[in-house]
Amino acid sequence: MPTIHQTIVRPHVTEKSSLAYQERGEYHFEVHPDANKAAIKQAVEQLFGVHVAGVWTSNQRGKTRRVGKTSGRRANWKKAIVTLREGDRIESFGFEG
């Protein structure tokens, strides 16, 4: 099982994820492929000092990409959507400002 710092790879900041944060308070993360919901919840609570209300996960398949004659494939990755308890927020996330 990955450690706490290996569980959360990075925040996944896109237009869709920042809109979800503004409307519903959801935070999107790229997480380790072997991480389960309990490990993700524990890692977010310890790293950011907040209380997690729910975790949703999905496995994203890598796309096939082509440049000229050469074709390749992006890596598969796992996404986690985390909602926090009412009144909690992650200050240094990147959505604000």
Q: Whole-angstrom Cα distance, residue 47 to residue 60?
A: 24
Distance between terminal CA atoms of the chain?
35
Please tell me the pTM assigned to this model. Answer: 0.86
Task: Note the pLDDT tens digit of each residue in 10-28.
Answer: 999 899 988 988 889 899 9
Mean pLDDT of the chain, nearest integer: 91
Q: Whole-angstrom Cα distance, residue 12 to residue 21?
A: 11
Task: Note the pLDDT tens digit of each residue in 63-81.
Answer: 999 999 999 999 999 999 9
